[in-house]
Amino acid sequence: MDGPSNGGMLYHEVQESNLCAVHCINTVLQGPFFSEFDFAAMASDLDRTERQMMIQSSGDESHNVSMGGDFSIQVLQKALEVWDLQVIPYGCPVAEPAQFNPELERAFICHLLDHWFCIRKVNEEWYNFDSLYAAPEHLSKFYLSAYLASLRGFGWSIFVVRGTFPKDCPISSADVPYSFGQWLSPDDAHRIAKACNPNVSFSQTGNSAKINRNPYQLIEEDDRSLSDMENEDLHAAIAESLLDSLPIGVETVVSPRQTDESSCHPAPLIQTEASPPPSTSEAGTAQEDKKEK
């Protein structure tokens, strides 16, 4: 029987500038495989190809990287293609099994506004490798399903990553001058996450579940206590956290086409401004409408 990948260690990158797309892909691959320079080169190649295919296109503005350093889904796809990995929109028929049994997958890429992060299974355990976190946060299988559902409800685009993932990273972070990452044992990751978020916990008061309000917060609780919560309470807790922490009014060059998980064959690029997530009252009204139907 094969041993754990990377000696049982977890690879995590903490946010640097606007390089969350780079951090996302490196944590999908579990190693410092790409730099921002690699991504910039891939974005340039994609822009050149698009200009050749679209004769009517004019100007030198990039559709695959913004002036702030945000990259499009096409760049992320191109990076993973190097490793023969597929990036499949969550809404495609081929990805339908992931909606019912997400724990059987290996990795998910999540995107909203100008932020990318990855949820990845490493050595049969799920972790959130959001670069806004000081360390990866462990997820139970039950919480994974509930959290993905809540992300979709708030307009996040989700992509399933499939293929043969690298088992071990052949290079060390110390050997890569541009690396932003660190290797952590699961115990160290848990300790760091707990130290950074000492008050993180789920609690129940009557029919409500409360969650502390940190950016894109995920909480790891033992399956026993989570299973006692009703699905609606859990979703409400996650939704409250997402609503209170998501950036509002952030401009992005990533169009709906680029992150539309329901479209397996995207339409041409259109630069746009992302809409903010719904307010608490809007979310509550939508939930009531759904119940009435």
Cα–Cα–Cα angle for 91, 100, 111, nearest 5°?
Answer: 45
Note whether 242 and 154 are within 8 A (CB): yes
Reported as a pLDDT band with limits 50, 70 and 90, residue 125 is: very high
Active site residue 130: yes
**CA pseudo-torsion sign 227, 89, 161, 67:** negative
The CATH class that applies to domain 5-285 reads alpha beta
The stretches of 94-134 forming alpha helices (DSSP H) are: 96-100
Can you tell me the mean pLDDT for 116-136?
96
Is the pLDDT score of 214 beyond 50?
no
Reported as a pLDDT band with limits 50, 70 and 90, residue 236 is: low
For 148-180, the pLDDT digits (tens) are 999 999 999 999 999 999 988 766 655 655 667
Instruction: Please tell me the distance from the alpha carbon of residue 287 to that of residue 293, in angstroms, as a whole number.
Output: 10
Can you tell me the mean pLDDT for 230-242?
56
For residues 214-239, b (16+ Cβ closer than 10 Å) or e, as one string?
A: bebbbbbbeeeebeebeeebbbbbbb
* Ramachandran angles phi, psi of 252, nearest 5°: -150, 150
Catalytic residue among 20, 24, 110, 118: 20
Domain boundaries, the chain: 5-285
Reported as a pLDDT band with limits 50, 70 and 90, residue 114 is: confident
For 193-208, the pLDDT digits (tens) are 889 865 443 322 222 2
Instruction: Please tell me the distance from the alpha carbon of residue 108 to that of residue 38, in angstroms, as a whole number.
Output: 22
Is the pLDDT score of 238 beyond 70?
no
What pLDDT is attached to residue 113? 85
Measured from the Cβ of residue 68, the count of other Cβ atoms closer than 10 Å reads: 12
Active site residue 20: yes
Catalytic residue among 12, 23, 111, 115: 115
Can you tell me the mean pLDDT for 259-284?
42
Catalytic residue among 47, 114, 130, 235: 130
Q: Average pLDDT over the chain, rounded to whole?
A: 70
